Structure 1
Amino acid sequence: MTKQTMNRNPGTELNLAWINNIQTNTSATERRAATLGTRRSIKKDHQAAWLIKAIGLIDLTTLAGDDTEQRVRRLCAKAKNPLRQDLKDALGIGDMNLTTAAVCVYHDMLATAHKALEGTDIHLAAVSTGFPAGLTPHELKVAEIKASVAAGADEIDVVITRKHVFKQDWQALYDEVKEYREACGGAHLKTILATGELATLRNVAKASMVCMMAGADFIKTSTGKESVNATLPVSLTMIRQIRNYLHLTGFKVGYKPAGGISKAKDALVYLSMMKEELGNDWLEPELFRFGASSLLGDIERQLEHHVTGHYSAAHRHAMG
């Protein structure tokens, strides 16, 4: 895996006509989403190959109040070696430099993670801007981004201010995200919409477009702390705005579903959706990530079943 080299989305001026023209059809979106996991099935060697691909797209995450330096070091060790060597050998990828895409932690754990990942190409992401509620004073949010970049984060996951969406104050949301992008400097910006709290798919679609216009490198569903996190209807809504933005500007923006994606079969559905809706470019870590922790354990378990024909206990595939 290599560091991101594609041209970053520079953003555009806020164009309210683009926002006002956005429409969503909730029932049609839900019908399309309901077919994603039922129309085709990936089996045997093909399934194993897709699951190996999914490993390289994971932002391995720990965002618990009881996080410790030891837990973060174990997580980083898992990110560097996400699949046991005997399984890699049996799958014919023994010499492959397989890692997760990134490790994502709170700012307080950045120094530990940065040291543990030194010498690798694994990205280091920090959640920021008063995560998860995003209700701290704006100047502190900006300062937190700058502090995390200075501490070694090359990706920043920010939460937007939801009230801007409810008030349809797109100028305020645009200005906020644009300032976050400027504070990131060379670090890539992922904007978390907290879609489970935005009430409607139209709100999700419009907020997605505003964030991209303000220069977001990725748009992300959730903090993982909401009662409803990543869903397929929300994902379809967001990635279709990514496609719309590409058509309008020529720039590609990444997508990160987060929260609730814990099973290998779910990862396969998301990968097939990205391929069908956006194409093969969105099957690479530059443009697609899973925000997850337990997902990796289930993928490893499924790959062991592929090799041995037997399912092992989940506790044999812990994160550290």
Structure 2
Amino acid sequence: MPTRNPGTDFRLDWFEGVTVNTPAAERRAASLPGRRSLKKEWQAAWLLNAVRCIDLTTLAGDDTPDRVARLCAKARQPVDAGDLALMGVEQLTTGAVCVYPTMVAAAKRALEGTGVPVASVATGFPAGLMPLDLRLAEIRYALDQGADEIDIVISRAHALRGEWAALYDEICAMREACGPALMKAILATGELKTLTNVARASHVAMQAGADFIKTSTGKEPVNATLPMSLVMLRAIRDYRDRTGFAVGFKPAGGLKTAKDALNWQVLMAEELGRDWLRPDLFRIGASSLLGDIERQISHFVTGRYASAHRLAAG
């Protein structure tokens, strides 16, 4: 487990000169899927690793305790036990379960004794357009319910207006409210307009003490993309080089296929190294993604694709 990011004083000079060459970032991202050929047992191993890094998520308006309990059952046993046994794997869980604050207690009950953490979105998710005191109160409510991790959302307006000190102060307050709970800062990259803004917001969130930076809420018109993720990973690398602290990364929204899971892991390995291919530094926010991964693993083990009803989400 890496040492938690303590944050730094606000350092505008670390990022004010950062500008991103968008066509170059897009070319680099487009080249990544072809950089590693993952076949057969190697592909299956990378897919199993993706499973242990998934924050299995339900953030729907009609969530109920029963739905959350079913999702937690899937988090406890995300891949068919028989398939795992044939691959020589004794136990596998997802990295966490992610829910709304009012569903945290139900998730904690369903996951008791498993070691699977419960993550809660907070701070007026997904828009974040609430007074700061109410956003901090929501963090405290989620923690009182038992949340182990908090996924906060930033005020996009601060980033769009270049109010970096104000954004830093806001995230610092959220980090303080989170206490010992892991804090993931959602940048809502699809609403930040430019990759340069994405890079600068990433630096601010890390300076303010974010343990992870996360692409999206999953509710924006554009969610996680490889170019946005590339920019965020290079900000993480720069922050590590300056401070010695490793910050995690979480893409969320739009990752739906096993191929997506492989592509983002290749990106992590190419940009940050294999140390970042662990759930303490890499999470994938997803729901339907797990079904396709399990389908591909079943095909590897049996030589045929399983029927959809065998791979229900919960």
Partner of 1:112: 106
Q: How many Å separate the matches in 2 of 1:182 and 1:171?
A: 17
Secondary structure of 1:37's aligned partner: helix
1:23 aligns with 2:40: no
Partner of 2:116: 122
Q: Which of 237, 259, 273 lines up with 2:253 in the alignment?
A: 259
Decide whether the 8 Å contact of 2:268 with 2:276 is kept in 1: yes
Secondary structure of 2:55's aligned partner: strand
Q: How many Å separate the matches in 1 of 2:274 and 2:15?
A: 27
1:90 aligns with 2:118: no
Decide whether the 8 Å contact of 1:174 with 1:210 is kept in 2: yes
Task: Spell out the pairing of 1:154-173 with structure 2 (5 A cutoff).
Answer: 154-173=148-167
Decide whether the 8 Å contact of 1:298 with 1:314 is kept in 2: no
Aligned length: 314
Task: Spell out the pairing of 1:183-262 with structure 2 (5 A cutoff).
Answer: 183-262=177-256
Q: How many Å separate the matches in 2 of 1:265 and 1:313?
A: 19
Which amino acid is 1:261 matched to? L
Which segments of 5 or more consecutive residues in structure 1 lack a partner in the other structure? none
Q: Once the two structures are aligned, what percentage of the paired residues are identical?
A: 61
Q: How many Å separate the matches in 1 of 2:190 and 2:155?
A: 14
Secondary structure of 1:215's aligned partner: coil
Partner of 1:283: 277
**Structure 1 residue 272: Cα displacement:** 1.1
Partner of 1:12: 8
Partner of 1:140: 134
Q: How many Å separate the matches in 2 of 1:244 and 1:39?
A: 23
**Structure 1 residue 314: Cα displacement:** 3.0
The structure 1 segments of at least 4 consecutive aligned residues displaced by more than 6 Å after TM superposition are none
Q: How many Å separate the matches in 1 of 2:275 and 2:201?
A: 23
Deviation readout 1:249-306 (Å, 9 max, x if unpaired):
1110000000010101111111111011101110001100000011111110001111
Deviation readout 1:226-248 (Å, 9 max, x if unpaired):
11000000000000000000011
Which amino acid is 2:35 matched to? R
Decide whether the 8 Å contact of 1:159 with 1:192 is kept in 2: yes
Which amino acid is 1:214 matched to? A
Which amino acid is 1:26 matched to? T
Q: Which of 32, 36, 49 lines up with 1:36 in the alignment?
A: 32
1:268 aligns with 2:255: no
Q: How many Å separate the matches in 2 of 1:215 and 1:99?
A: 28
**Structure 1 residue 79: Cα displacement:** 0.4
Normalised to the residue count of structure 2, the TM-score between the two structures is 0.98
Question: Aligned-pair RMSD on alpha carbons?
Answer: 0.9
Q: How many Å separate the matches in 1 of 2:24 and 2:243?
A: 26
Which segments of 5 or more consecutive residues in structure 2 lack a partner in the other structure? none
